[in-house]
Chain A
Amino acid sequence: MTSTEVTNTQGAADEKKMSIVAALNSALDIALTIDEKVLIMGEDIADPIGGVMKATKGLSDKHGVDRVRATPIVEQTIVGSAVGAALGGYRPVAEIMFMDFLCQAMDQIVNHAAKTRYMSGGHSSTPIVVRAMIGSSNFGAQHSQALEGWFMHTPGLKVVMPSNPYDVKGLLLSAIFDDDPVVFIENMSMSYSVTGMVPTGDYRIPIGEAAVVREGSDVTLITYGAEVHTSLAAAEALAGDIDVEVIDLRSLVPLDISTCLRSVQKTKRAIVVHGSTQFCGPGAEIAIQLTDALWGELAAPVARLGASYTPVPFAAELQSIPTETSVIAAVQVLAEQG
C-alpha cells in the first residue's frame, strides 16, 4: 500500500503521529501498565527483537519476560494457554504472526475460546485477544489469506478489523478489556504505511461501532481493513462525478448494520468491498441484511466486490482483491442502475 496519513483525532496536544505498529505497541504498553492481569504470548515477541513486525518492541524489557512471553513455535498451545490463563483470571493477548497459522489454533479458538461461556452455562468467560495479520501475496498463498469470514461464522467470538492507527489503538484496548474472546485482524500492507495522529494516553473505541469515514449521497461503499483505503481512493477519484459515502465497519462481530442501513436508506445503492473471497464472504451477509430491510427502497441490488474464489495467487498480474480501479468500475455500474 502507498503510504496514507489518516486524520481522525481532535488534534489535541498529547497526540503523536503513529504507524499501525506504533499504535499496537502503545495499546499493549498501556494495557500491561494499567492491569497486571494482562499478558502477551507469541513467537519472537520478547526483546531485543520485539516481534517480527516489532509490535511488542520494548515491552518485555519494560514489563518483564514473565508477562511478555516468547513462546516456542506452538500456535495451538499459544492460543490454548491463553484460553487457560484467561480461565485462571488473566487477560492474555496471543500474537499469531500470520493469520494463515490460525489454522493450527482453530481448535482452541473455535471449540474452546468461543464456547466456554456457553458450555459452562455462563459460569466462565474467556477474555482473550488473538492478534493475527493478513500477510501479502509476495509470500504466496499461505501467508496472505483473509479468513475473517471463518470467525464471523463462529458464535462466541468478536471479530475486529481496523484500518488506521487511531482505531487500532482504541479497539485493541477495548478488546483486551472485553470479557469475550476477540479475534483482532491486522493487515501487513498497512503496518507501517498507514499513519495518523494518535493520543498517547488511554482511550477506547467501542467494539461494534462502524464509522462513516466519507460522506456522500449517491453510493455507499461498506468496507473494513485495508480495503477502506482502496475504497476512499476510489471515492476521491470519482468525486464531482459520483458522490460516494464510505463506511469503515471496524468490527465485523458485532456488526453495526444500523449505520449501514442509515447510509443506504439515503444513497439507495451499496457495494460491500473486502479482500476475502466474494463467495460466502462477509459481503453476502451484509448484502442480504440490507436487502431484507430495504427491499423496495433500493435503486439497485446490493453489490459485492471481493476476491476471486482461488488461493491467493503469487504473480502480480493475477491478483483479484479489490483495487481502486475495480472499485471505481463497480461504483460506476451501480450508479447507472435504477
Chain B
Amino acid sequence: MQNGHTGSPELTVPAIEDLEWMYSLMLEAKGADEAAAAEARQGKLQAALYPVRGLEGVCAALGVAMTDDDQMISSYRNLGDALACGIPLRTIIAEAYGRLGGTSKGKGGTMHLTDNERGLITTTGVVGSGLPMAVGLALAAQLDSSRSENAARAIVVTFGDGATSIGSAHESFNLAALWNLPLVFVCQNNQWGEHTAIDAYAANPNLAERVRSYGMHAEAVDGFDPMATWRTLSSALDRARSGGGPSFIECKTYRLTGHSGLSDYSYVPSDDLSAALERDPGPTMRRWLLENGYVSEARVSELETAAENTISEAFAFAQSSPPPDPSELLDDVYASKEGFPVR
C-alpha cells in the first residue's frame, strides 16, 4: 500500500488526517460510480460497472488499516478497494475507458485493475477466484518473512457474500487456517449475490459462524460503521502480521444500488433499502465527524469540493488519454512474442 497510512489499532479512532482521507475516499467512490453510470447511460462509456455503493465505509477502513507493505486481491467490484490501496482515481477511470493511461494500459478493463507498487496485485471477474490466489500470495508473504528481517506483511482478499458459496472459497479457508497464513478474508456482505438475496441462497446466512468452523478467527462487524470496521480490520491485519494466522471478517452492509451500473434493482424491498439508506456510510461519517468535532464544517466542504475536482479531473484525464496502439494487441500475451501465433 502506498497511501501513507500506518495501521495503529491501539488508537480508538484514526488520526484526523486519516479520518479526512477516509471521508474523501467515500466521496470519490460514490461520485465516480455515479459519474461513470451517467457516462454509460449516454453511451459514452462502454464498460461493465460494479458500483461500490454501500461498501464505501469498508473500503475506507481498509485503506487506513492496511500498511504500505500489505497487499490486496480484489474482485470486479473494486473501485473502492483500489482507492484504499492509494491508486489515483484517474488511472482507475482511464482503465474503465480502455485507455493507455489506465492501470493496465486499457487491456484489462474495469474488472482487471493491477498496481503492484501500490499493493493491488490482481482483481478477478470470477466470483470467488481471488481466494485461492490470496492463499498463495499469503504463502509468499509468510515465506518471505521467515527468510528476512523485513517487517511481515499481511494479505487482504475482498469478495462479496455470494462468493462464500463457491467451493474453492472453502478450500481456501481450510488451507489458510491449516498453514496459519497472514491472510485477512474481507467479506463485503451487501446482502445480495447479483439478484438473489442471501436468505434465498444460504441455509445459514451467518457467514462468520460458518467460517469459524474452519479453525480461524471469524467475526462479523457493522460495515456501515467505518470506525468499528477499521478497528476490527486493524486487529485482524495485526494478527496476520504477527504470526497469529488468518481471519475472516464479515463486513455487513447493504447494497444501495443495482448489482451493476445500469441494472434494474426494483426487486429490492423498498423498506430494506430505505432503512439501509438511513445508514448510508458517507453522510453518516460526515455527521459523525462534525458532531465529534474532528473537522469543521468548512473543512468538510473543502474535502467535498476537492473530491468533486478529483472526479472531474479523473474523467477528463481518462477521456483525453490515448487508446492503446494497435500493436499492443499482441503484446503481453507472453513475456516475449517470439514464436507465437498471431492468429
Contact = CB atoms under 8 A, between A and B. Distances in A.
Interface residues of chain B: helix, strand, loop or mixed (majority) = mixed
Interface in B103-125: 103-109, 112, 114-116, 121-122, 124-125
Interface stretch (A45-53, A76-84, A133-141, A217-225): A76-84
Interface in B298-343: 331-335, 338-341
A72 B122 contact: no
A88 B109 CA distance: 22
Interface string A49-93: 000000000000000001100011010110111111111111010
Given A81-B175, A84-B138, A76 B132 contact: yes
Contact of A80 (B108, B146, B168): B168
B171 A76 contact: yes
B334 A117 contact: yes
A15 interface: no
Contacts of B129: 80, 107-108, 111-112
B100 to A, nearest CB: 9
Nearest to A81: B136
A176 B179 CA distance: 24
Given A77-B175, A179-B335, A83 B107 contact: no
Contacts of A92: 136
Given A72-B175, A119-B108, A253-B340, A85 B168 contact: no
A107 B124 CA distance: 11
Interface size range of chain B in the complex: 35 or more
A128 B126 CA distance: 20
B175 A87 contact: no
A84 B106 contact: no
B133 interface: yes
Contacts of B116: 123-124
A337 B174 CA distance: 61
A255 B122 CA distance: 30
Contacts of B126: 107, 111-112
Given A80-B136, A122-B105, A71 B340 contact: no
A155 B333 contact: yes
A42 to B, nearest CB: 13
A290 B202 CA distance: 55
A95 interface: no
A92 B137 CA distance: 11
B277 interface: no
B172 interface: yes
B249 interface: no
Contacts of A155: 333
B8 to A, nearest CB: 26
B122 A124 contact: yes
Contacts of A254: 338-340
A85 B140 CA distance: 5
Given A88-B137, A124-B114, 15 more contacts: A76-B168, A77-B135, A80-B132, A80-B135, A81-B133, A81-B135, A84-B132, A84-B133, A88-B71, A118-B333, A119-B109, A120-B122, A121-B106, A125-B335, A180-B335
17 contacts: A81-B172, A84-B134, A84-B139, A85-B140, A87-B121, A88-B141, A111-B126, A111-B129, A112-B133, A118-B333, A121-B104, A123-B114, A124-B121, A156-B334, A178-B335, A253-B340, A255-B341
Which 3 A-B residue pairings sit nearest by Cβ, starting from the closest? A80-B132, A84-B136, A88-B140
